[in-house]
Structure 1
Amino acid sequence: MLVRMHTATNSSPPADRGPGVSFPPPLLFVGGLGIGVLLDLVLPLPAVIPDARWVVIVGFALVAIGLGLMLAGIVTFKRRRTAVYPNRPASLVVDTGIYAYTRNPMYSGLTIAYLGGVFLTGVLWVLILLPVVLTLLITQVIRREERHLLERFPEAYTAYCARVGRWF
């Protein structure tokens, strides 16, 4: 009796999974805000932001500006038909629109909106956690995205980085 063995041979290269970020980056900001508020319930710190009407106005203005920047980045990516989520490969280096001024308008926008959240909550813990949020963003998201773009588009991405800063 002849038994035929079939072995799977995959001669095609592995699928490009993009930067390999397995979570939505806005969760870092939501998490920082939420943890800060919870810490304030357990271990309150003195208020450093006055309870005034102008503080609320500044807070909402920062949230609006931040979300506007984020939206501008998303719209630009959609128009250029490239991946918005960092769990998918990029189809090109986007250097037009808001991306002509910053390589990370979505993350810059989230950071500005988070600062608006500091004003709106008045919770010092939220501000204290911002460096942690940004460190995680840079190490777990941005560096992976940059590595992906550099591997996929070495000349175009290197030239883009020389022209445009990471933030502003």
Structure 2
Amino acid sequence: MNAYRSKSLSFPWPPLLYSIAVIIALCLQRYYPLPLPFLWSIVAWAAGAALTAFAVTLNVWAVKTLLESRTTVLTQRCSAYLVTTGPFRFTRNPTYLGYTLLTAGLGLLIGNLWFVAIAALAAALTTLLVIRCEEMHLLSRFGCEFEFYCKHTRRWV
């Protein structure tokens, strides 16, 4: 039996990756601060508030869509259905996109530009460590249907 067929991951990596990213950004700001001029800090705060609100909305919408489709929200469980509705129409990974935007948005809200850089790094690591395994799982479970979905829906945005 295909090892990817039963589940995609054995450990829920995304929350850990983004938590570590936040800790690293806080440490970098403490030892290597990137100050923002006052006017830019107001603009950054407004952009951060908008990004944070959008990220939370995206994550709630994605989880709601998964629950309504009666498939798992957890990455270490087997997917029952290929979900292509809701935010999954626009991106194959709306929760990870939400995590990334939330990390960057929080950084802009508190004036820590390291969050933005670390969010990009966390997204790259998520692609390498998580998304590729999840895609193998979905490919082994749903075959051509998943391939068709991949051709019409981008991985991130």
Q: TM-score range by the shorter chain?
A: 0.7 to 0.9
Q: 134-143 or 56-65: which moved more?
A: 56-65
1:114 maps to what in 2?
Answer: 103
Q: How big is each residue's C-alpha offset from its partner over 1:39-84, in whole Å with a ceiling of 9 and x where there is no partner? A: 21123234378332x4323212211101111111111110011111
Of 47, 51, 67 in structure 1, the residue corresponding to residue 41 of structure 2 is 51
Counterparts in 2 of 1:136 and 1:21: CA distance versus 1, 3 Å: farther
Q: Report runs of 4+ in structure 1 exceeding 4 Å deviation.
A: 12-17
Cα distance between partner residues in 2 of 1:164 and 1:136: 20
Q: How does 1:12-161 map to 2 (within 5 A)?
A: 17-47=6-36, 50-52=40-42, 54-161=43-150
Gap runs ≥5 in structure 1: 1-11
CA distance 1:155–1:14, shift in 2 (3 Å) = closer
Q: Distance in 2 between matches of 1:37 and 1:13?
A: 41
Residue deviations 1:60-110, cap 9 Å, x none?
A: 221110111111111111001111111001011111122122111111112
**Does the CA-based 8 Å contact 2:5-2:137 persist in structure 1?**
no
- Distance in 2, matches of 1:48 and 1:145, equals 42
Look up the equivalent residue of 2:47 and give its one-letter code.
Answer: V
Letter in structure 1 aligned against 2:41 = D
Aligned residues: 156
Q: Which has the larger radius of gyration?
A: 1
State the match for 1:6 in structure 2. Answer: none
Cα distance in 2 between the residues matched to 1:86 and 1:61: 28
CA distance in 2, matches of 1:163, 1:15: 23
Q: 1:76 to 1:47 in 2, by over 3 A?
A: same
Calculate the TM-score normalised by the size of structure 2.
0.87
> Normalized against structure 1, the TM-score is what?
0.82
- Aligned residue identity for 1:36: A
